[in-house]
Structure 1
Amino acid sequence: MKLKYVSTLVVSCFIAFSAVANNAPNFDDEDLKVAAQLRDKALDSSLDYDIVESLTTEVGPRMAGTPGDAAAVKWGVAKLEELGFDKVWTEPVTFPTWKRGVESAEVLSPYPQPLVITALGFSVATPEGGLSAEIIEFEDLEALKAAPADAAKGKIVFIKNRMERARDGSGYGPAVAARGQGASEAAKKGAVGILIRSIGTDSHRMAHTGVMRYEEGITKIPAAALSAPDADLLENMIRRGKPVTVKMTIGAKNGEEYTSHNVIGEITGSEKPEEYVIIGAHLDSWDLGTGALDDGAGIGITVAAAKLILDLPERPKRSIRVIMFANEEQGLIGGKAYAEAHKDDIKNIITAAESDFGAGKIWRIDSKVKPEAIPAVKQMADVMAPLGISYGNNNAGGGPDLIPLRGKGISVFSLRQDGTDYFDYHHTPNDTLDKVDPESLKQNTAAYVIFAYLSAQMNGDFGTGFNQK
């Protein structure tokens, strides 16, 4: 036995002893041992990858409200039943839909060339025959907001902000505001359309889609994202000092209201079945790729982790629910529906974590728990240590679909993945199975099985009532 491991074990035992002495949440030695065994089994299993392969091959793109969405729900129910979950059910989620249609763009003058674009989710269409106008360039959304009221009158706004690459994905938030708010801000300045540099970190000639929203009472103008090389091309043309005229054609339209479903599988607890731990991911994807990273990987990780626990000789003390959330991409609709449907059951949710950041290896675990539970979280992190994971802080977000539940006060965990290259593929045609690394997927599953099992077994609880927005 290595000295480092012995030291870790001694520290872990000391934490456990101190926790018991102070009546704080803790784990039995046997539960820590089982968690380590589950971790090692996860590293030897390929079930997680098999699940992602099944979803991307048998269903593929599954944008909310499409036939792919319906097929994904059927697939999810069948997969959970095939794996032997104690209970499998669906809960309805209703929302407005949007259809992409034709999309194209080209520079008309001074240097005619084609451009690669993709419409942003819920964009309106251009007039029949397309929209042609001069381009006006802005550094970022703030520069657009600061411009005079008629600065873009009759023009197509081009926002050229670049997303910064980061392991934790922290460059996404500052950049994505241009996608979400750009169209309405451009319309306020008199624009007839908007193009943004794709919110991504790649240099491939493909555009990144994603949802946007129109501000109430503001004229709706067509909105699209440019591939990074085409954004560079526009910048180069504009730099030459001549007016640049672009034609964009978008055939998008709103569809009918649609009802999809959250898909839920449960391992029913043996001692406190009414209390449960949530692990999950979102089942929908955008329509350009096959949704392997966003969020097929999360489905594979969480379902495979639960299956390892399901195969134990005895059920855990508390229940574990795997939730495949509907329509995360267009506004966390499934997460909101689940929080509303279970608002009177919040105190029975022990904790939750969502996998929605691709398939990169987990490097840190963060919590949002009551202070006296932090030593127990550090025990959990000790079991994850051989995976290269360490404890971070007590300010976790939990994942996008958990935001509504988090707002109602549940404790949450964030298992932080390495997202250095995640936004190279995010919301693009290149989000496909070949981007998923099986070994990294196993490491994720190993971490999630530790989290889910120990949370279901712990003595005490992580607390509720945080009301973190």
Structure 2
Amino acid sequence: MRTVLAVLFLAAPLAAGAQSDPSAPYAEAADRIVEAALADSTAWERTAYVGDTFGHRLSGSAALEATIDWAIETMRADGLENVRGQPVDVPVWVRGDESAALVLPTGDRDLPMLGLGGSVATPPGGVEAEVLVVDSFEDLEARADEAAGRIVLFDVPFTTYGETVGYRTGGAVAAARAGAVASLVRSVGPVSLSTPHTGTMRYEDGVPRIPHAALTIEGAETLRRIQERFQQGRTAGRRGGRPVVRLTMNAETRPDARSRNVIGELVGREAPDETVVLGCHIDSWDVGQGAVDDMGGCAVTWEAVAVLARLGLRPRRTVRVVLWTNEENGLRGATAYRDSLGDDLSGIQLALESDSGVYEPVGFGYTGAPGGLETLRARVEPLVLALLADGTDAGPAGIVEGGGGADIGPMMRDGVPGLSLRTDNGRYFWVHHTAADTVDKLDPGHLARATAATAILAYVAAEMPERLPHGASAD
């Protein structure tokens, strides 16, 4: 008897210690999620199906609406609840035929290019003019007297997306103010195999609207070298002047069209009006297959909810997946979804977006009120670490400070905690907004592990007894 009592006495602290682990109540469910997700390739197969069947999906296109029809039908077949399309009016920009050619000094050499979303067309027959190559907005300002009547090229090497993308979005306005007849930008990306990158741009009222397009890195550097030889007087004759480019664009902006956000749910068993929101954007640019940006993110967040449904893991709160429309050139889907929630967002436990490529999963990034990060780390990290890569350039495995996304941004600005899926995505901007954004860039194993980790996070956040704090982040 004394021996039995001694064993019980020693075992009691161990049992108490085990119960103090905040992740312990969810361990059995997490094991089931991992086993189911890793034995399944649905996320990758659906990404491949959409890319191969519907292709790219710019807002206003028949391909996007066909994809949405398929997603609604397939979500219902998955057993998700309250599946619906939420109507959204979206902008419609059509690229049309376009080209760029280096007329001098080479004589009509093709320059691979992509018009930037929202750009106006050139006059019929195109624009042919000398090119002024600048390396910053400040450089253009200093050389503004050279820009009038010319095509301005912003040849700005990639540093980070946030720093460099301003030349794509604002280049046309700056060039037009200096009197340019068109503007070009070096593609926003670190690597090129003659692959131009498209993306959105903007105009300003009161400033002339000039055509705006992206060249490849190779094309931009070619024009810079020609200009430098001219400036240094190292050339002579007709072929020794400034570079001359002919730009032809037939882009057109049409009236808004009706599209939809796609919404599906696993309704909570106790607090159905409290919600964990997972999502992505289902539209893409009009090149490539939109697999990396962002069908892979859609497949992971969608499948995370479907796994819970298949396993019968119905948590306390509702888990909702939203495939937002029109992220690429308008954010109309995100705005409409936020507006539909009304003034009270206190019932949203958290919002997670996957929109940075689904490569090797590393964890999640969190932005929100103090205390939420620590809560999620304690409850979720022990359950997902085995799924995550460590020792990569993407930072430590697990849940770190700093996350969110464009589509959940409107909710985050009203205090909802926001997270993003973190992956080892150093190659993301190699294919971002290019014709090379195709299914072969993704790995089925990466998507399966990302699905498992996302499903565990969603389940724990929806099942845990406490509410995550709302409000501004500690920053």
TM-score, normalised by the number of residues in structure 2: 0.89
In 2, Cα distance between equivalents of 1:152 and 1:270 = 64
- Per-residue displacement from partner, 1:234-285 (whole Å, max 9, x unpaired)? 1222222131111000000111111111010011111111111011110101
Specify the alignment match of 1:6 in structure 2. none
Checking the alignment, whether the CA contact within 8 Å between 2:368 and 2:473 is kept in structure 1 is no
In 1, Cα distance between equivalents of 2:361 and 2:281 = 18
Are residues 142 and 91 of structure 1, via their aligned partners in 2, closer, same or farther at CA, if it must alter by over 3 Å? farther
Specify the alignment match of 1:381 in structure 2. 381
Equivalent residue of 1:37, what SS? helix
Cα offset for 1:467?
Answer: 7.8
In 2, Cα distance between equivalents of 1:439 and 1:272 = 34
- Per-residue displacement from partner, 1:14-67 (whole Å, max 9, x unpaired)? 69738xxxxxxx55x332331233123212210111111221122211100111
Specify the alignment match of 2:424 in structure 1. 418
Cα offset for 1:371?
Answer: 3.0
- For the pair shown, which has the larger CA radius of gyration, 1 or 2? 2
User: Partner amino acid for 1:300?
Assistant: A
User: Partner amino acid for 1:343?
Assistant: G
Specify the alignment match of 1:131 in structure 2. 127
Query: Which of these residues, 25, 28, 32, is aligned with residue 27 of structure 2?
Result: 32
Equivalent residue of 2:208, what SS? coil
User: Partner amino acid for 2:97?
Assistant: V
Specify the alignment match of 2:329 in structure 1. 330
In 1, Cα distance between equivalents of 2:307 and 2:400 = 28
Cα offset for 1:68?
Answer: 1.1
- 1:120 equivalent to 2:116? Answer yes
Give 1:15-414 correspondences, 5 Å limit: 17=20, 29-112=24-107, 113-144=109-140, 146-147=141-142, 149-164=144-159, 171-241=160-230, 242-379=241-378, 380-388=380-388, 390-394=397-401, 396-414=402-420
Are residues 321 and 247 of structure 1, via their aligned partners in 2, closer, same or farther at CA, if it must alter by over 3 Å? same
Checking the alignment, whether the CA contact within 8 Å between 2:275 and 2:462 is kept in structure 1 is yes
- 1:446 equivalent to 2:446? Answer no
Which residues of structure 1 form unaligned runs of 5+? 1-9, 19-25, 165-170
Question: Aligned residues, how many?
Answer: 444
Checking the alignment, whether the CA contact within 8 Å between 1:291 and 1:431 is kept in structure 2 is yes
In 2, Cα distance between equivalents of 1:64 and 1:187 = 27
- Per-residue displacement from partner, 1:420-441 (whole Å, max 9, x unpaired)? 1111111111111111111111
Equivalent residue of 1:353, what SS? strand
Are residues 451 and 136 of structure 1, via their aligned partners in 2, closer, same or farther at CA, if it must alter by over 3 Å? same
User: Partner amino acid for 1:130?
Assistant: G
In 2, Cα distance between equivalents of 1:243 and 1:222 = 20
Checking the alignment, whether the CA contact within 8 Å between 1:208 and 1:426 is kept in structure 2 is yes
User: Partner amino acid for 2:463?
Assistant: Q
Are residues 16 and 236 of structure 1, via their aligned partners in 2, closer, same or farther at CA, if it must alter by over 3 Å? farther
Specify the alignment match of 2:237 in structure 1. none
Specify the alignment match of 1:434 in structure 2. 440
Cα offset for 1:313?
Answer: 2.9
In 2, Cα distance between equivalents of 1:229 and 1:148 = 24
Equivalent residue of 2:323, what SS? strand
In 1, Cα distance between equivalents of 2:411 and 2:473 = 9
In 2, Cα distance between equivalents of 1:53 and 1:193 = 38
Q: Comparing 352-361 with 372-381, which one deviates more in the overlay?
A: 372-381
Equivalent residue of 1:346, what SS? coil
User: Partner amino acid for 2:398?
Assistant: Y
Cα offset for 1:367?
Answer: 1.9
User: Partner amino acid for 1:17?
Assistant: S
Are residues 387 and 17 of structure 1, via their aligned partners in 2, closer, same or farther at CA, if it must alter by over 3 Å? same
In 1, Cα distance between equivalents of 2:158 and 2:63 = 30
Are residues 14 and 105 of structure 1, via their aligned partners in 2, closer, same or farther at CA, if it must alter by over 3 Å? farther
- Per-residue displacement from partner, 1:303-345 (whole Å, max 9, x unpaired)? 1111110112341111111000000000322111111111334
Cα offset for 1:443?
Answer: 1.7
Query: Which of these residues, 434, 455, 461, is aligned with residue 467 of structure 2?
Result: 461
Are residues 343 and 468 of structure 1, via their aligned partners in 2, closer, same or farther at CA, if it must alter by over 3 Å? farther
Checking the alignment, whether the CA contact within 8 Å between 1:36 and 1:450 is kept in structure 2 is no
In 2, Cα distance between equivalents of 1:59 and 1:131 = 34
In 2, Cα distance between equivalents of 1:331 and 1:83 = 30
Checking the alignment, whether the CA contact within 8 Å between 1:92 and 1:261 is kept in structure 2 is yes
User: Partner amino acid for 1:312?
Assistant: L
Cα offset for 1:419?
Answer: 1.6
In 1, Cα distance between equivalents of 2:27 and 2:342 = 32
Cα offset for 1:229?
Answer: 1.6
Equivalent residue of 1:371, what SS? coil
User: Partner amino acid for 2:112?
Assistant: V
Equivalent residue of 1:73, what SS? helix
User: Partner amino acid for 2:248?
Assistant: T
Give the aligned CA root-mean-square deviation in angstroms: 2.1
Checking the alignment, whether the CA contact within 8 Å between 1:141 and 1:177 is kept in structure 2 is no
In 2, Cα distance between equivalents of 1:143 and 1:267 = 54
**Percent identity over paired residues:** 35
TM-score, normalised by the number of residues in structure 1: 0.90
Are residues 151 and 397 of structure 1, via their aligned partners in 2, closer, same or farther at CA, if it must alter by over 3 Å? farther
